[in-house]
Amino acid sequence: MMKKKWLNYLPTIFIICIIVSLMMYSSSSTSENLNFTQFEKKAEKVEFKDSSITIESTIIQVEGTYKTNDKVTAFKAIIPNTDKNIEWLEETLSKDGGQITVTNPDANKVWVSMLAQMIPFLIIAVVFYLMMAKMGGGSNAKAFEFAKSRARMENDVKVRFKDVAGCEEEKEEVKEIIDYLKTPKRFTDMGAHIPKGVLMVGPPGTGKTLLAKAVAGEANVPFFSISGSDFVEMFVGTGASRVRDMFKNAQKNAPCIVFIDEIDAVGRQRGAGMGGGNDEREQTLNQLLVEMDGMTDNTGIVVIAATNRPDVLDPALLRSGRFDRQITVNLPDVKGRKEILGVHARNKKLASDVNLENLAKRTPGFSGADLANVLNEGAILAVRNRKNFITMNDLDEAIDRVMMGPAKKSKKYTEKDKMLVSYHEAGHAVIGLKLPDADAVQKVTIIPRGEAGGYNLMMPREERMFPTKKAFLAQITGLLGGRVAEEIIFGQDAVSAGASNDIEKLTKIAKNMVRVYGMSTLGPIQYADPQGNVFLGRDYTQGGNYSAGVAEEIDKEVRNIVDSCKKQCRQILEDNRELLDLIAKSLYEYETLTSEEILNLMNYGTIENPNVQKVEEVIVEPEQELPPIPAGVDQKDLDDAMNELTKKKDA
């Protein structure tokens, strides 16, 4: 590394040498050059100081200084080499007490000749070296670094627990690790051993990496981070060598945290899959197993790994003594989403109409990364519209963008297609309004987004931890609302392909009800296919665990569920045909309806609530003390006059 840094300064050093040489040359050329005639004339008028004489075969080189009018000037002169001139020079240069130095002319010629011979070879060597370095000739030096660990170390992690929201239980699980890294003696005195490894499992974007960094930040210890894919290379033994080097560096900086992201890339089950596994990856995994709990004692090193595929990990990696704890980081609930929005809204300029609690209720199923993206998209939209604050409309549009993509307002429907999409989305909305267990309608639009011609934003009325059979059936019925509405209005032969995504979702739900959850007449038996893929580390010899007869029964049960939901959906839409037409026509006209507007259409038949009237602002003047009644004026006459004046004013 030091050699590389020195080479980077080589062009600068070369340029500096050239500049210094030019300066020396320019400074040396400031002396006065005299021929023999000029030197003779000068010798009569000036006073010579110290001089040097170089006697060559035909000429005499004279260098020195002379003084005229208190001014000293350097000079050079060339004089023919004769005995007479040598005597004259000695007499002239020493007449005023000047010192004369005689130099050997051959002394400089030796060095000059040597440099003249060496410079071409030096130039060729430098050019050759630079060419080889450009062509990769220095790659042999990198061979010794190829087996080094790619883990990046952070000594001062700024992330703290206050920056991680929506996972309070997960924080509690890792607090012991922080205490151990700060004061390990408390645990050793009690005979306790801190977990050597913590495996964080959860969907993408739930904050597994952020939580691991917060542990290092709270404990104020070095944080080594590496991805599972950084271990394995095409060269045999590289991965195992990098694992050894990583733990060696961690041992030097103990206590510390080693974070391995996407550990399933290197920790998949050994000896499974097509071809019996991967030898290089398995060697890397074996070395990782040894380092975590083998012949070496890595005191003070806590390994934290993250994955969203724990089903493919090798059992030896998950056993106690290696990954002692498995922490599941789930998607946040409504309370967690509000806290996450509060964390990401710290540096955002929010308008007064923004309510983070309402925003959290409108984003079920969103991960922490999705919520951060919603606020960021809202900020971008506010800047694009040249606003000073992020409004609720910006965040509403941001939610739509994150879920479905940007609106394609330039895409124009034909009148027939626009009416078909309107009835399709109105069918979903009517089911959401009239079916008690269906999701609540939040927003309906026929503006295309992504691959969808329109969409319904429907949210659960309440977040359930365990969905029921009734809720699944209501969800299937809601997904059928668009297709059934098309059949009722336009006929069986005029249905469109716009319900393909709805059909895909409801089919998956119906199959899971029968094969996974046991919600059919086949009973509480699981008929699901083996979870996993042979190319992801699973055994390819496993097949379906039911017969062909059972498969036929499963298909019948799935069909019965969908048919019964479709029948119920048709009944609801036919009973509420007027509401279906009203919502469809309003969508055709306004293109987007909010939940309040849809409720107004259902209750009052109009977009706006007719019972809500604008109340004029009444300005009440503060009471003032009235002047006293003049003498001789009757109070009754005064009251009658005031009442009469009030009547005229009201009229």
Over residues 545-574, the mean pLDDT reads: 90
Contact 96, 48 (CB under 8 A): yes
31-106 topology per CATH: 3.30.720
Q: Using CB atoms within 10 A of its CB, is residue 86 exposed (0-12), middle (13-18) or buried (19+)?
A: middle
Q: β-strands 197-201, 152-154: how paired? A: unpaired
Tell which residue, 490, 489, 470, has the closest CA to residue 478: 470
Does the annotation list 58 as a binding residue?
A: no
Burial of 308 (0-12, 13-18, 19+ CB in 10 A): middle
Residue 567 has pLDDT above 90, yes or no: yes
List C-alpha distances in Å: 152 to 12, 172, 222, 255, 563: 31, 27, 10, 16, 57
- In whole angstroms, how far apart are CA 350 and each of 45, 341, 393, 582? 91, 12, 11, 36
Do the annotations mark residue 208 as ligand-binding? Answer: yes
Segments making up each domain of the chain, as ranges: 1-30, 31-106, 152-328, 334-404, 428-604
Q: What is the pLDDT of residue 624?
A: 42
Give residue 570's pLDDT: 93
Q: Which CATH number among 3.10.180.10, 3.40.50.1820, 2.40.50.140, 1.10.8.60 corresponds to the domain 334-404?
A: 1.10.8.60
User: Which whole-number Å values give the CA distances from 556 to 241, 484, 499, 522, 549, in the listed order?
Assistant: 56, 21, 22, 10, 11
Of 297-301, 359-363, 380-384, 411-415, least confident by mean pLDDT is 297-301
Give 617: exposed, middle or buried? Use CB within 10 Å, 0-12, 13-18, 19+. exposed
Please write the tens of the pLDDT for every residue from 166-200.
888 888 888 888 888 888 788 778 887 777 888 99
User: Cβ-count burial of 542 within 10 angstroms (0-12 exposed, 13-18 middle, 19+ buried)?
Assistant: exposed
424 is in an annotated binding site: yes
For residue 255, cis peptide bond before it (omega within 30 degrees of 0):
yes
Residues 385-443: tens digit of each pLDDT: 888 899 888 888 888 888 877 777 666 677 888 888 889 989 998 998 888 888 778 88
Topology, domain 152-328:
Rossmann fold (3.40.50)
**Mean pLDDT, range 529-548, rounded to an integer:** 53
CA distance 91 to 603: 129
Q: Is the pLDDT of residue 302 over 90?
A: no
| 188 alpha-carbon distance from chain centroid | 39
> For position 620, what pLDDT does the model report?
39
Which band of pLDDT confidence, cut at 50, 70 and 90, is reported for residue 86? confident
Of residues 291, 425, 486, 487, which has the active-site annotation? 425
| 224 vs 152: CA distance, rounded Å | 5
Known catalytic residue: 176? no
Reported confidence tier of residue 477, pLDDT bands at 50, 70, 90 = very high
| Domain at 428-604, CATH homologous superfamily | Peptidase M41 (1.20.58.760)
Mean pLDDT of the chain: 78
| Predicted confidence band of residue 90 (pLDDT cuts 50, 70, 90) | confident
Question: Among 255-269, 369-383, 537-551, whose mean pLDDT is lowest?
Answer: 537-551
Binding site annotation covers 338? no
Euclidean distance between CA atoms 488 and 119, whole angstroms: 95
- Confidence band of 564 (pLDDT split at 50, 70, 90): very high
- Single-letter code of the amino acid located at 542: Q
What's the pLDDT score for residue 510? 93
The residues facing 62 across adjacent strands are 53, 77
Flag whether pLDDT at 533 surpasses 60. no
Query: What pLDDT, on the 0 to 100 scale, is given for residue 484?
Result: 92
Please check if 428 is assigned to a binding site.
Answer: yes
Give the residue carrying structure tokens 């293109």: 591
Tokens matching residue 121: 């070879």
Q: Judge whether 193 is annotated as a binding position.
A: no
Average pLDDT over residues 242-256: 85
Instruction: Return the percentage of the chain with pLDDT > 70, whole number.
Output: 76
pLDDT, average across residues 87-101: 73
Edge-first strand listing for the sheet containing 71-80 = 32-34, 71-80, 59-68, 47-55, 100-103
User: Is 11 within any annotated ligand binding site?
Assistant: no
- CA nearest to 177, candidates 243, 246, 255: 255
Cα 420 to Cα 44, 96, 415, 456, 495, distances in angstroms: 117, 118, 9, 15, 9
Residue 477 annotated in ligand binding:
no
Q: Provide mean pLDDT across the span 146-157.
A: 76
What is the structure's pLDDT at 597? 85
For residues 260-271, give the mean pLDDT.
83
Question: Up-side HSE of residue 447: CA atoms within 13 Å toward CB?
Answer: 18
CA distance linking residue 146 with residue 242, whole number of Å: 9
Q: Is the pLDDT reported for residue 107 higher than 70?
A: no
pLDDT reading at 265 higher than 90: no
Supply the pLDDT for residue 144: 52
- pLDDT reading at 535 higher than 50: no
Does 276 show up as a binding residue in the annotation? no
